[in-house]
Structure formats: C-alpha cells, structure tokens
Amino acid sequence: MPSVTLVTEKFLNLARTVARAKGVSTLPIVALPANAEFMTEEEIRVAADKAFQEVVAKLKGSAPETPIPA
Amino acid sequence: MSDMKKWQSAIVYTDDSLDEANNLAYERGWTDGLPIVPPTEARVSQMLRSADRNPDGVVATLPPKAGAATVEKIAINAVMAGCLPTYLPVLIAGVEAMAEPQLNLHGMQATTNPVGPMTIINGPVRKDLGMNSGRSVMGPGNRANATIGRAMRLIMLNIGGGIPEEVDKASQGYPGKYVFCIAENEEESVFEPLHVERGFKKEDSTVTIVGAQGTTNVVTACLIDIKDMLKVIANAMNYMGSNNVLLGAGEPLLLLTPGHTELLRKAGFSKQDTKKLLWDLLGFPLSDYPPSMRRERMEKATDDKGIIRPCRRAEDIMIVSAGGPEPYHATFVPTFGDTWAVTKRIDWKG
C-alpha cells in the first residue's frame, strides 16, 4: 500500500537513519515544520498546503526519494 | 607484528602518529571531541582477551542506526575511551542494558532533551576495578569511572548512531553526556544497595543504566531533622521544567551520601520509608502550570487533589548512596521521564 511518512523537520535525519536501518532507504518522507505552537494559523495553513502537495506527489510516485548514502 | 586476527571491522591506516590518528578519528566523527586512544589491532586484541566471548558475537543492536554491537566493536570503543581490558565485561553488560526497550535508548539518542545514560555499578567488581564510590564520585580522577562512562557514550555514537546535530538533537546537552559513571558506596551506606533492591544478590556485580538529564545539588548541611532534610530535597525535585513532572512518570533518582543514610536510619527510616516520606512531600498543583504547557498526559498523572508529582508511585523514586561521608550535599538526578532504568548482571569472575 502506498504510504508517506510525516516527520518533524528536526528529525528528518533520524527518520532517514531509521529507514535505512530497517531496510527501506527509499521510504517516502515529508518533513513538517517544527514548533508549530509558535506559528500563526496562516503560517500553519501555508505549511499544511505545501506538505499536502508533497504527500500527494510522493504517493503518486512522481517525487521519488533520494536514498541515504551509506 | 600484531595479532593477525581476521577483523569484522574495517582497518583504517594512518601515519604512525598520535596526532594523525586523532585528526582522522575526529574528522570522521568517531570521537566525543576529546583525544582518543587509537584502537590499533594490538590494543583491541588485548582488550578482547579479557572477555571470554566470541568477538564476532552480537551483544545487542543499538538504536537508532540498529548498529550491531559486537564484542569486537565494543572493545574498539573501549580502547578509544582509554579503558583497561578488565573493564570490558562491564561495558558488555552496559550495552545489554542500553538495548532493553524500557530504557528507550532510541528516544534518548534523538531527543531535544539533554538526557544521557548514567551508569551505576554495584557489587564486587567495584573494588576489583578500583572504582570510586566515595568523595568526588561524580568528579574527575578515577580511571574506571571516567573511561567506562566515556566508552558508553562512544558506543552510543559509533554503534548506535547518535551523532550530535544530525541525529542527537539535544538543544544544549549537559556535561554528563561525556561521562556519567559512578559506583554505589555499599560499604558505608546503611541502605540496601540498588542491585539488591532490584532483585540481585549482594555478591552479584551489576550495571544499571539510567536515562539521566542532569544533576542538581541540594545543600542539606545543618538539616538534622529528617523531615526538614527531605522537605528541602523534595523542593529540588518539584521543578516545573522537569520531564519527570511533565510526563508525570519515570524514576527520578536521588544520590544520598552515607551520612544521609545514617541520619535516616537513626530516625528509624529505611530506604522504602524514605521514599514514602518524600512522596508525601512531593508535588504541586497542576494549576500552577501555564495552560500552554499542560498536556493530557499530565492530567492523567494528577491525583484527585489536582497535585502532580515527578513520578507515579513512591517506589519509583530511586535512591542510591554515593559520595563522601558527610550529609552536606545530596544530588537530585531528574530523568528523561519516558525511560525506565535497566539492571544487568556483569559476567564477573573477580
């Protein structure tokens, strides 16, 4: 089943490290901004729209992941 | 010529220079920032001879990289840290402990919290290795305390993949992330040692790993009355920014000197009695917290009077005896909250 993993941007490297450790180095990942509690509602909406587009693109396979270097 | 064992680990060649070896190790991110002892084939071979284990055997896999902590790789990091070969069995048990899910090493390796593993050693191995359990127990000067603690960090870095900035997102960290290793002062304390409390025999040698996020000194000088002493200690444990309070869980740790334990004993208090009395003194109203800081899990950890404490039960308070004899200073060690200490027996034959 196609899937995309959402992670907070601060932990993007961690997500990629774990993905590689689990044998799924091309796991589709979309990073979301951290510290949403400090963002305005408008900023959150903009970020959510952007993330939504990325999620759809990755589900469609039109934005392939770059494998993490060993 | 050195031992020509077939190594699992890659061999990296540098000029025959301590400076060159250290520059290479630092540039490749293999160090904690301090100079290392180059893990030459000869040194690692000597380290391996002290443990009756297959060097290729996997002791555990360590998160988040799921790195295989083989006996060989543990030995390499032990050499780098400056450990004597006799320390290797302690590190092997320490790695076994770190890998237990309840410790939550994955969380500790990646969080913005400053948490790092604290290593507590019990049993005969302490004396056999010349460890410090007395004055300046958390300070510099003892080779076993210093290098065992350091090796645990290098293992987390090089095998577990807890690379600062890239994976380890500690906002500020704390100095205990370099080294935090003590031996319990079992001889001078009148309290039951930690490992016996946790189900081991007194003659067992054990390592306990705690997810520690700093230390707070508590001045207890002149506090002869037990309730006064524990009131002051409880005040230190009751801070709002504590992960133990924010999660209302975990095992906040208290280091008491033998002098404290003697005062408590004279007042008729056992270790368990002390925990219960502390529990009664701990806690503050959840309503004191700014609303933006309150989380659902805190509501669940609050009692029917609206009081939140740094742990769920009195028994969850850990008490270890260490340091010089006088009851002038105690140390509160808050923990990551979402972590539970693990104790493993060291394969120690003396």
Contacts of B291 in chain A (CB under 8 A): none
Is residue B282 within 8 A of residue B309, CB to CB? The reply is yes
CA-based nearest distance A15→chain B, Å: 9
Tell me the per-residue pLDDT of B27-50, one tens digit each, with 9 for 90 and over: 999 999 999 999 999 999 999 998
Tokens at B104, concatenated: 């939550």
Contact assessment for residue B101 and residue B132, using Cβ atoms and an 8 Å cutoff: no
- Determine the distance in angstroms separating the CA of B210 from the nearest CA of chain A, rounded to an integer: 22
State residue A66's pLDDT score.
Answer: 55
- What Cα–Cα distance (Å) separates residue B125 from each residue in B77, B81, B100, B122, B130? 20, 19, 22, 7, 8
Spell out the per-residue pLDDT of chain B, length 350, in tens: 445 578 999 999 888 899 999 999 999 999 999 999 999 999 999 999 988 899 999 999 999 999 999 999 999 999 999 999 999 999 999 999 999 999 999 999 999 999 999 999 999 999 999 999 999 999 999 999 999 999 999 999 999 999 999 999 999 999 999 999 999 999 999 999 999 999 999 999 999 999 999 999 999 998 889 999 999 999 999 999 999 988 878 999 999 999 999 999 999 999 999 999 999 999 999 999 988 888 888 888 899 999 999 999 999 999 999 999 999 999 999 999 889 999 999 999 87
Residue B289 phi, psi dihedral angles, 5° rounding: -75, 140
This complex has an ipTM of 0.78
The pLDDT, as a whole number, for residue B293 is 86
Residue in chain B lying closest to A14 (CA): B167
Distance from CA of B35 to the nearest CA of A (A): 26
DSSP state at residue B164 = B
Q: Alpha-carbon Rg of chain B, whole angstroms?
A: 21
Asked if A22's CB is within 8 angstroms of B63's CB, the reply is no
A18 touches chain B (CB under 8 A): yes
Spell B88-118 as b/e; 16+ CB within 10 A means b.
bbbbbbbbbbbbbeebbbbbbbbbebbbbbb
pLDDT at A48: 94
- Determine, for residues B64 and A21 on separate chains, whether the beta-carbon distance falls below 8 Å: yes
Mutation for B interface: A7, A10, A13, A68, most B CBs within 10 A = A13
What pTM was computed for the model? 0.93
**The tokens 């409880």 sit on which residue?**
B234
